[in-house]
Each structure stands twice: as structure tokens, then as C-alpha cells.
């Protein structure tokens, strides 16, 4: 059940109408059942994974909070972390590490070992809800959060359907209290939710899906032989595709939650307007970058242990952040490049914006955007060999006539979203025209529906981050 399909809205709209006619406890029970139904739409067997980890984490957290025995508390924490990361590691990384082990043994000249590769289906969203569950148990262990009293409330916090498949990764201290307390029907917030959903659908169906047509053609070779022109169109197209795709998903998730009185954290703040990579990661996939900072980088020592260990911690955090995205060495390389780049910025004293000139900021933005685009090649490529070949192809200086309409097509779908981002950045908005009057938003909403009907792209393109 994808957010950009009619069946999702057949599911969502009646649910919202019924939801606001119930008391809080009834609302939570209904939303929990709906969330499990939503997740089970792909494969009902995966619901059992969420149920097992939910039960273990709920009771482990309560025992941790009520126990004064240090060793018992630590044992329960380890049990919870082992279960959550064990599920994630097995379902997402078993084949990756098995293949890597076999390849390493052969490279070392050792006898080839037959490593059984299982046909393991990846449960949707397992990376997202695992990180959310880990944040909960860790926060309870360190006394930052009181454990949930109600199993239904905690289960809903983990599985609330708008964030279940691809985030944003909700912090327990932000979402859990909203689950535990009464939500109030507010027509203004309902309007906000509808506008977020329309903005998300525009980003996904109009911008991302059309950019995907070019990106897929360039990376598959059907746009033409390797050349600088083909390479640039492909990497620019994918850069706007992944941004519009994931920010569009986040908008729909936040809007859907808003219809039911929940507030999800902002996950994107115009990242392609960043002036440094540190600034980029404070704007891109904010829920993940802040999770990695608080639950990995800082526990490793952050920047408190001297410069050398700070660089080590940055690199380790980004390597693991890259691997979190998928079981492929391309993601590790992508994360490693970002880690080295962050370390270089720190070494050179490149800081956040402030007191800089307008021209310098835009030079920095343009340079950073292109460097980020180059790293997306590793993110998009099927393997390291394909990434190497794509980069090598960009050294071929050849232009073909069919690339001009392709470039115009890309500009037609990417520039409008860039202009929208500029307006949102200038006005400090979470969605376009957030602070405008109701009539203006109605006309803009109607225009968005028209654009969706006219320019929706490839309907077979699932959200990119659903695979993570």
C-alpha cells in the first residue's frame, strides 16, 4: 500500500472520519489495528517481527525502570538491543556478509567456501522502526524517558502507519506523549495536513517520477553511450529524484499524521541550499542524521576526545550510516566519502553560515550541490563496478542531439521545485504557503491536483526509501 496510490486514500479517508468519533483509548486501539493491517498489506508474516520486538521492548523497559540492580538493567538492555539489531542484521545483511566473506576468502587465496545464500525477503521499514525502538529502550535505560504504562500506547508509537515504512524516525520523547494524551480536532491542522499531502504528492508523482525516467535511462545506458552529457543528465536527474521522492514521502507521512492530530518532526529543510556538508546533514533526512548523532556519534565520544578521535568518530558514524541504507558496498563508499568530507571541513575550519556574503554563500551552495551529486552516483549504482564505469564514462566528451530535449525535460520538472524550496527557505515554512490565507491555499491545492492529473510520471516507481 503505497502513499501515492488510490488504495492508500481509500484506506486513509474513512479511517480519519471514524477516528475523530472515538475516545482516545478507542482511537489508539483502532489506529494500532489499522497500522498492523497497513503493514500486513505487503506480507502478514512480517507483522510477527514487530509484535515480538514490541513485546520484548515494552516489558524490558518497564523492568529496567523499576529495577535498582545495575547488572539486571544492563542485561535487559543488551537483550533488547540484540533482538532488534539481530532482526535487522539477519533480514537485511545476511546475504551481504555471506557474499563478502566468500569473496574475501577467495581474494586471500584460501580454499573457496560454499556459503549458503538464503532467499530472505526484506521486511518493509525494518531499518526505521528498529532505530525508533532502540531510541526508546536506550532513553529509558539512561533515565531520559519514563516507560510507557500501556502496551497499546507503546505498540502504536512503534507502528503508527504514517511513519512505519520510511520514517521520519520519531523520537520517543516527541511522539510517545502524543500517543498517550488526548488529541483535539483542529480544522486548521487538518488543512495543514491536506496541504502537506498535496505537496508530497506533487514532489513524488510530478517531480520524482519524471526525473526517474531520465535517471533510469542514463544509468541503464538507454539514454546513450557513456559520455559527459549522459552522465550529467543522469546524476542531476537522480539527485532531484531522490530528494523529491523522499521529501515527498515525508510530507505525505507528516500530513497523514496531522489529519489525526499528531505532529511529526520535519525531516527536510531545503538541503540543496546548504553551504557546507555539516549544514547539509542538518537539513537532509534530519530524523536519521540526528539519531546517528545522538545514539552513535556522541556515545563514541563525539568531539570530546581530541581531533584524531573526532575524525574517527565522524568516519565510523557515516560508514554505518551508509550501511544502514542498504546491504551493498556502494552505500559504504557513499557514507565513507561523506565521513571523510565532514572531517576535511572540520580540519579546514569550514563552519556554519553566518556573517558570510551573499555571493560566497551561493558559490558554496553550488559547489556543495555538485559534490553531493557526484556521491549520489555510488548511491544509485547497482555495484562498485557500475559506479566506476559511470564515472569513467563522464570523461568522454561527446554531445548528441537527443540530449537537448532530455535536458529541457529535466529543467522543466526540477526548477519549479527548486523555486518552491527558495520560497519556503525565505519564509521559514514547513510546506508551501503555510502562512498564507485560506483562499490562497485552496487555489494552490486545486492547482496541485491539476498538475498531478496532468504530469504524474511513472506509476510503477515505488518510493526509494521503502527499500531501506
Enzyme catalytic residues:
325
The C-alpha angle 393, 398, 399, rounded to 5 degrees, equals 120
Cα distance between residue 159 and residue 338, in whole Å = 31
Cβ pair 207, 244 in contact under 8 A: yes
The residue count of the chain comes to 468
Cα distance between residue 18 and residue 11, in whole Å = 11
Residue 446: half-sphere exposure toward Cβ, Cα within 13 Å: 5
What is the Cα 160 distance to its own chain's centre? Answer: 16
CB neighbour list of residue 416: distance below 8 Å, 6 or more residues apart: 207
The C-alpha angle 328, 331, 335, rounded to 5 degrees, equals 150
Residue 298: half-sphere exposure toward Cβ, Cα within 13 Å: 7
Examine residue 168 and say whether the peptide bond preceding it is cis (omega within 30 degrees of 0).
Answer: yes
Cα distance between residue 18 and residue 252, in whole Å = 20
CB neighbour list of residue 201: distance below 8 Å, 6 or more residues apart: 4, 248, 252, 448, 452
Burial 190-225 (b: 16+ CB within 10 A, else e): bbbbbbbbbbbbbbbbbbbbbbbbbbbbbbeeebbe
3-state secondary structure of 321: helix
Cα distance between residue 461 and residue 207, in whole Å = 12
Is the CA virtual torsion 311, 312, 313, 316 positive or negative?
Answer: positive
Burial of 7 (0-12, 13-18, 19+ CB in 10 A): exposed
Closest by Cα among 278, 343, 332, 272 to 309: 343
3-state secondary structure of 110: coil
Amino acid at each position: 500500500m503505497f502513499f501515492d496510490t488510490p488504495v492508500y486514500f481509500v484506506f486513509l479517508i474513512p479511517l480519519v472520519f471514524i477516528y475523530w468519533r472515538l475516545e482516545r483509548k478507542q482511537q489508539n486501539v483502532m489506529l494500532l489495528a489499522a497500522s498492523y493491517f497497513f503493514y500486513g498489506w505487503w506480507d502478514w508474516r512480517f507483522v510477527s517481527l514487530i509484535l515480538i520486538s514490541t513485546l520484548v521492548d515494552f516489558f524490558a523497559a518497564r523492568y529496567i525502570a523499576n529495577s535498582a540492580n545495575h547488572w539486571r538493567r544492563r542485561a535487559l538492555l543488551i537483550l533488547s538491543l540484540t533482538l532488534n539489531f539481530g532482526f535487522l542484521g539477519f533480514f537485511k545483511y545476511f546475504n551481504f556478509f555471506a557474499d563478502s566473506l566468500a569473496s574475501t576468502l577467495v581474494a586471500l587465496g584460501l580454499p573457496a567456501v560454499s556459503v549458503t545464500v538464503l532467499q530472505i525477503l526484506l521486511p518493509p521499514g525494518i531499518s526505521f522502526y528498529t532505530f525508533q525502538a532502540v531510541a526508546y529502550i536506550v532513553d529509558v535505560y539512561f533515565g531520559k524517558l519514563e516507560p510507557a504504562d500501556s502496551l497499546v500506547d507503546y505498540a502504536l508509537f512503534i507502528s503508527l502507519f504514517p511513519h512505519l515504512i520510511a520514517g521520519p524516525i520519531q523520537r520517543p520523547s516527541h511522539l510517545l506523549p502524543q500517543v498517550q494524551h488526548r488529541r483535539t480536532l483542529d480544522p486548521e491542522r487538518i488543512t495543514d495536513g491536506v496541504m502537506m499531502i498535496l505537496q508530497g504528492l506533487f514532489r513524488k508523482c510530478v517531480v520524482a517520477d519524471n526525473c526517474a525516467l531520465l535517471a533510469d535511462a542514463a544509468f541503464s545506458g538507454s539514454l546513450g553511450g557513456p559520455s559527459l552529457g549522459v552522465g550529467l543528465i543522469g546524476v542531476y536527474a537522480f539527485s532531484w529524484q531522490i530528494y523529491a521522492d523522499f521529501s515527498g514521502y515525508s510530507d505525505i507521512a507528516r500530513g497523514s499524521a496531522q489529519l489525526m492530530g499528531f505532529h511529526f518532526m520535519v525531516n527536510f529543510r531545503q538541503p540543496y541550499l546548504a553551504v557546507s556538508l555539516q549544514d547539509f546533514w542538518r537539513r537532509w533526512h534530519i530524523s536519521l542524521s540526528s539519531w546517528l548523532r545522538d545514539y552513535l556519534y556522541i556515545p563514541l565520544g563525539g568531539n570530546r576526545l581530541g581531533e584524531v578521535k573526532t575524525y574517527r568518530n565522524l568516519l565510523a558514524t557515516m560508514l554505518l550510516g551508509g550501511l544502514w541504507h542498504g546491504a551493498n558496498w556502494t552505500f559504504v563508499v557513499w557514507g565513507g566519502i561523506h565521513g571523510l568530507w565532514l572531517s576535511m571541513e572540520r580540519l579546514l575550519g569550514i563552519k556554519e553560515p553566518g556573517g558570510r556574503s551573499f555571493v560566497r554563500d551561493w558559490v558554496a551552495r553550488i559547489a556543495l550541490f555538485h559534490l553531493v551529486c557526484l556521491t549520489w552516483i555510488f548511491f544509485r549504482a547497482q555495484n562498485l563496478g557500475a559506479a566506476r564505469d559511470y564515472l569513467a564514462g563522464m570523461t568522454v566528451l561527446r554531445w548528441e542531439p537527443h540530449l537537448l530535449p532530455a535536458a529541457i525535460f529535466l529543467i522543466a520538472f526540477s526548477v519549479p521545485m527548486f523555486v518552491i524550496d527558495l520560497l519556503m527557505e525565505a519564509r521559514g515554512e514547513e510546506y508551501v504557503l503555510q502562512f498564507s490565507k485560506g483562499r490562497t491555499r485552496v487555489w494552490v491545492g486545486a492547482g496541485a491536483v491539476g498538475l498531478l492529473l496532468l504530469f504524474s510520471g511513472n506509476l510503477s516507481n515505488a518510493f526509494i526509501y521503502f527499500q531501506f
